[in-house]
Structure 1
Amino acid sequence: MIFVINKKIKYNEYEGTLEDIDDPGNATLLVKPACRLLSIFVRNNDMLIKRKQLLDEVWEDYGLKATDSNLNNYISGLRRSLAKIDTEELIITYPRQGFKFVAKKITRQDLNAALLEKNVIQVSDNDKEEKKPELPTAELTSPPAWWKKAPLKKMAFIAVILVFPYLLSMAYKQIPVSNITNLGKYKNCDIYSIKYNGMQPKEIESVIAKHYTCEDKANIYYYFNIKEKGLPSYASIFAYCPLDVSAACELSYVKS
């Protein structure tokens, strides 16, 4: 997926790059934790994302050690990368709570559609170019003398040309994204699932109705089959988070 932030920044999630819309071709390559952070932010623009969620989805879910220091360092690095393109502050810190991405506008474009559009533009541009004069056949086909005497070098050179694009694509192909699914609404509450599994939406709504009135606007996050410290067994967790950032989230546990 490609995201355009504030009509200024292009984030290519597949390649893990940031690019200035007005200066194409001068892309910044992000490391994978930074990509995972930015993917969560752009999908949850203007929403407070808790530190625990970021630590889990960026590090713990990939078998990596998660620390507050790691999170702070990568947030700082991501801020610097974004600031190179847009001077507006896009990541707001809520002390001891989390972070909020505050872009004025984010549009998304499917990667295949973007590539198709790019190819159409390139074909159109090529049609406008004047046909260049062809070089003599001998000049095109005749290799230099050292090339004729070094067949192994030729084979190695061709192999590098063929393999390099494949290795490059494999290195950045697996850019993880957030696993949040919108399950609908209950009164004034928006319901989200983290790695959706387990209860059906109607069952989830029934549990929510028993615990929360949802008279005020809030987000409810449903975690299935989680083993928390202090709990004797696995349980489903419901996190009720009012949109008022001054109010803390409330947790409810339901035995699996």
Structure 2
Amino acid sequence: MIFVINKKIKYNEYEGTLEDIDDPGNATLLVKPACRLLSIFVRNNDMLIKRRQLLDEVWEDYGLKATDSNLNNYISGLRRSLAKIDTEELIITYPRQGFKFVAKKITRQDLNAALLEKNVIQGSDNDKEETKPELPMAELTSPPAWWKKAPLKKMAFIAVILVFPYLLSMAYKQIPVSNITNLGKYKNCDIYSIKYNGMQPKEIESVIAKHYTCEDKANIYYYFNIKEKGLPSYASVFAYCPLDVSVACELSYVKS
């Protein structure tokens, strides 16, 4: 997932980078804990995140030792990285409580859509760079005979349109994006799992259909076997997050 913060900062979860939109190509690489911190902040903008939650989700859940010192150090480092691009203070500290991310505006962009857009732009640039002054005019204006047949041209074009998104999505499924796996799509909802295990994709889709209409574009994150506080049992958690970040995510618990 790609997040654009205050129309100035582009945060790419897959690459773990921060980039100035006005200065593309000069990206800052974040370490894993900083990426996980920022991912929590951008998904909970303008909400106070408790220190305990950050320690659990950034370190404990990954089998790492969580300390207040680690948290403070990574928050400071993340502040410095953000300040290189946007001088506004984006992370507010609440002593002995936690932290709040206070961006004025955050927009989400699906990673697959961003890759497709990038490929289209690069393709357009390559077309512009091609030079053909040395070819005879006859060669420029006369395509091969098979290409003159309209039905074949249409079939070839349609095949590219249909096959490319499939290959792109399959490639994306094989890449670990901070332990996030793309499980497919239900209506207008893209489905992702965190540390995938447990339910099969069809079972997950069935649960989603019972809880969400997916009439609007959204991402749904599936967490398997999460321990509920105060209860001895485990549950699977579904987080429904509309692409409109002004709308809060909804959580649904399904007992394991």
Which stretch of the first structure deviates more once superposed, 59-68 or 138-147? 138-147
Task: Give 1:154-173 correspondences, 5 Å limit.
Answer: none
Unaligned 5+ segments in structure 2 are none
- Report how far residue 129 of structure 1 moved: 2.2
Change (3 A) 1:192 1:216: same
Offset, 1:193? 14
Whole-Å separation in 1 of the counterparts to 2:107 and 2:198: 32
1:179 lines up with 2:167 in the alignment: no
Normalising by structure 1, report the TM-score. 0.56
Decide whether aligned partners of structure 1 residues 51 and 30 sit closer, same or farther in structure 2, where only a CA change above 3 A counts. Answer: same
- Unaligned stretches of 5+ residues in structure 1: none
Deviations, residues 35-86 of structure 1 (Å, cap 9, x unaligned): 0000000001111000000000000000000000000000000000000000
How many equivalent residue pairs? 256
Inter-CA distance 81–140: structure 2 relative to 1 (3 Å threshold): farther
Q: Which has the higher contact order (CA 8 A, sep 6+)?
A: 1
Cα distance in 2 for partners of 1:133, 1:39 equals: 50
Specify whether residues 95 and 25 from structure 1 end up closer, same or farther in structure 2 by C-alpha distance, changes over 3 A only. same
Instruction: Write the mapping of 1:1-256 to structure 2, written as runs, cut at 5 A.
Output: 1-131=1-131
Q: Is the 8 A contact 2:5 2:107 kept in 1?
A: yes
Q: Is the 8 A contact 2:45 2:102 kept in 1?
A: yes
Give the Cα separation in 2 of the matches to 1:191 and 1:167: 17
Change (3 A) 1:99 1:232: same
After TM superposition, which residue ranges in structure 1, 4 or more long, deviate above 3 angstroms?
132-256
TM-score in terms of structure 2 length:
0.56
C-alpha contact 1:14 1:174 (8 A) present in aligned 2: no
In structure 2, C-alpha distance between the alignment counterparts of 1:171 and 1:5, rounded to whole Å? 27
The farther-off stretch of 13-22 and 241-250 is: 241-250
Coordinate RMSD, CA, aligned: 13.4
After superposition, the Cα gap between the structure-2 partners of 1:46 and 1:231, relative to the gap in structure 1 and judged at 3 Å, is closer
Alpha-carbon contact 2:190-2:220 (below 8 Å) kept:
yes
Contact 1:48 1:100 in 2 (8 A): yes
% identity of equivalent residues = 98
Partner SS, residue 115 of structure 2: helix
Rounded Cα–Cα distance in structure 2 between residues aligned with 1:213 and 1:162: 26
